[in-house]
Amino acid sequence: MLGWFIGRIPQGWFTAGPEVTRDREEILVVGELDEPELPRDAEAAARAAALEARVRHFREEMRAARIGIAEEAGAGPGS
């Protein structure tokens, strides 16, 4: 299953291979996103806001692709 997800998830989504876990009801795929580039002297609040915006953007922009991958996985990899 891990190999299928690593092969199926587009290059560049995560900084490294995702962590994939499965239980009876769901498959959870967790990956690390690139951190936004900020000036070295950026305040903690600015860093937190930038990270939150990066995650929100990923969720919104990649939603259709993520749903498609989830549907494929639900049908069984290789179906």
**In this predicted structure, what is the pLDDT of residue 26?**
86
How is the chain split into domains, by residue range? 2-75
> Which residue is listed with tokens 């190999």?
3
pTM for the structure as a whole:
0.74
Q: pLDDT of 3-57, one tens digit each?
A: 898 899 999 999 998 999 988 888 899 999 999 999 999 999 999 999 999 999 9
Please give the backbone phi and psi of residue 76, each rounded to the nearest 5 degrees, phi first.
105, 120
pLDDT at 78 exceeding the cut of 70: no
> Which residue is listed with tokens 């291979």?
17
Q: Is residue 12 a contact partner of residue 6, using CB atoms and an 8 Å limit?
A: no
CB under 8 Å to 30, separation ≥6 — which residues? 18, 19, 20, 21
